[in-house]
Amino acid sequence: MIENIPNPGLLCNSGIEQLNFSWQIVIDTLKLLKSAQDQGELYDWQIDEFWRSSRRNLLSAYAQVFQGVELIIKGKIAEVSPYILIDNLVEKTKGCANPEKNPKGKKVSIDFSEFKTIQESELLNVYMGVSDCVLEQSFIERYEKMRKMRNKIMHLEIQGFETPDKLKELANEIIENILCMFNTLMPNKKWMDCRATSISGSPSEMLYMLDSNVSPHFDLCEEFKILIDTLPPKLVKEFFGFNKKNRLYCCPKCLVKSDAGACDFVDLKFAYLTSKEPGETKLTCPLCGNTVEVFRMSCSDRECKGSVCYDGYCLTCLEGYFKL
């Protein structure tokens, strides 16, 4: 018999962990640059050097996404049957029933890890062949591109990705690959929920717990804002369903959940009115998914052009949020 058969759920979770790992590398890169820029103006050459020195991290992150995807697909195949993952069953079990090799007809036990599992180039064929999943051509092409590039990164000295522009594109591509792969393979889960779980269990969060001013949700909001600012409008629309050129507001629910100083939160605007109708009062947050009823009136701060309020405060500048 085969022992230590992989658990489909654990395989998928390990895959998601790998995606989180890559995602974190990209987000940390973007955060680092942003915080340096917030502290003072950087020279162009400094920013260029910053991107060049992030090259290795980003290439590793790219490769890691593929490893994660591979594990998730293996988990999906294992949901049908983990035995399908075995590539050399006949070869490995040869002789089990042969009186010469197993004269007493003893019970055979083989550890799952001793088998060869199917190659990553065959994973999609097998997955589509044994399940009822439908994969779009664009997904299959993306998977193949990622697979080939992962092999180059791991086994060869990869050429290209030397210029800052190419490296910025690479960072975006990692994000896009993660979102695209995750949304297709895990249609019942939301990526930002996985991020919330990953952030609240991260080592840095364990240290921040000592500092009661920072909540994991605040970090999640910060990350989401950086993401929205970085991704091209087309991808923000595709993955998060809104036009980033629209006027954006603070989300009252995220504000409460973040338990953050409101002043910090002024920068974290990503909620939007559900239509362009004048007087629209429904505000949706792409991060927490809540839709709230807002009140339309001009902000009492004359400098602020906001006209979307909630519970007596302005969702553009947070004027009125601090009540004495």
Binding of residue 251 to Zn ion (CB under 5 A): yes
When the beta carbons of 149 and 318 are compared against Zn ion, the nearer one is 318
Joined together, the tokens standing for residue 156 give: 């060869």
Map residue 32 onto helix, strand or coil: helix
Which amino acid does the sequence have at 96? C
Binds Zn ion (CB under 5 A): choice among 71, 254, 283, 308: 254
CB of 35 to Zn ion, least distance (A): 23
CB of 308 to Zn ion, least distance (A): 9
∠33-216-323 over CA atoms, to 5°?
A: 100
Q: Do residues 251 and 270 lie in contact, with contact meaning Cβ atoms separated by under 8 Å?
A: yes
CB of 96 to Zn ion, least distance (A): 58
When the beta carbons of 219 and 319 are compared against Zn ion, the nearer one is 319
Distance CA 271, CA 249 (A): 5
Binding of residue 315 to Zn ion (CB under 5 A): no
Binding of residue 306 to Zn ion (CB under 5 A): yes
Distance CA 91, CA 87 (A): 9
DSSP-derived pairing of the beta strands 110-111 and 272-273? unpaired
Binds Zn ion (CB under 5 A): choice among 253, 265, 269, 283: 253
Give the footprint of Zn ion on residues 203-232 (CB under 5 A).
Answer: none
Q: How many residues bind Zn ion (CB under 5 A)?
A: 14
Binding of residue 316 to Zn ion (CB under 5 A): yes
E strand or H helix at 79: helix 55-80
Distance CA 267, CA 38 (A): 12
Binds Zn ion (CB under 5 A): choice among 288, 294, 308, 309: 288
Name the residues that contact Zn ion, by CB under 5 A: 251, 253-254, 285, 287-288, 299, 301, 304, 306, 314, 316-317, 319
